[in-house]
Amino acid sequence: METEPITLSTPRPVRRPTLVQGWHELTFLHWPVDPDRVAGLLPPGTRPDTLDGVTYVGLVPFLMRDVGLGPGPGLPYLGTFCETNVRLYSVDDHGRRGVVFRSLDAARLIPALVGRLGVRLPYTWSRMRLRREHDVLTYTSRRRRTTGRRPGPTSRTVVRTGGPIARPTALERFLTARWGLHVPWHGHTVHLPNEHEPWPLHRAELLDLDGDLLTAAGLPPMTEPPVSVLYSPGVTVRFGTPSAVATHR
């Protein structure tokens, strides 16, 4: 099923923010995948969101800054850390497009615990680093080992940032203009809306990619290079109040 083109402005402004975050120095890596291969990984009441019959798997490393409750201000130390998420794209029966996180690795323990216990997101505490040398960004991550287990999954992504994108393609809009999350919540599914300015997107070149975060998140191996590599200096994000999703399975 083909989706309608997505605009880069949010259709649902958040009037009473419950959470504020800054997402900075992001790299978006995306691979196409058949919707049937990932449909079972989405929460009840949602289905894979598609463009021209295809959905996508995303790997997104970035720097989180100034996380805070309500309208802010955020916390400059505890609220600033590296993060990498593995994600899928969803839509519910109300037409609300969203992101479904399969995993979120974070370099701060307290935000990881709050995200896992408070918002029911699959956060994991990891050793992470972001290094910039001129126009080259290197993101590294190693999940901290739990007692009695093997070392956790790793990730290393190296990209060279390029020029700004004046007119994003339909695919680039589809992959980045997502105005909410679909989250399992105590046996139900909720939609958590967010808003931010249009993404300032840039071209990017993937120089190196290694690691096993995708397969560790239950996704099929991606044997080909990503079809989309984008960079953004970032945006400030406000989250609203979650609402229930009707479930039929």
- Between CA 87 and CA 100 the distance in angstroms is 6
Closest listed residue to residue 173, CA positions, set 4, 60, 2: 4
Rg (CA), the chain: 17
Question: pTM of the full predicted structure?
Answer: 0.90
Query: How far apart are alpha carbons 44 and 131 in whole angstroms?
Result: 38
Tokens representing residue 153 in the block: 């999954």
The total number of residues written for the chain in this structure: 249
pLDDT in tens, the chain (249 residues): 334 444 434 456 777 888 888 999 999 999 999 999 999 999 999 999 999 999 999 999 999 998 877 666 666 656 789 999 999 999 999 889 999 999 999 998 766 666 665 567 898 999 999 999 999 999 999 998 765 667 789 999 999 999 999 999 999 999 999 999 999 887 789 999 999 988 999 999 999 999 999 999 999 989 999 999 999 999 999 998 888 886 654
Are the C-beta atoms of residues 55 and 36 closer than 8 Å to each other? no
The answer to whether 194 and 14 have CB atoms below 8 angstroms apart is yes
Q: Give domain limits for the chain.
A: 19-216+226-245
Please report which helix (H) or strand (E) contains residue 173, including its range: helix 170-176
Match domain 19-216+226-245 to its CATH number in 1.10.150.120, 3.40.50.1980, 3.40.605.10, 2.40.400.10. Answer: 2.40.400.10
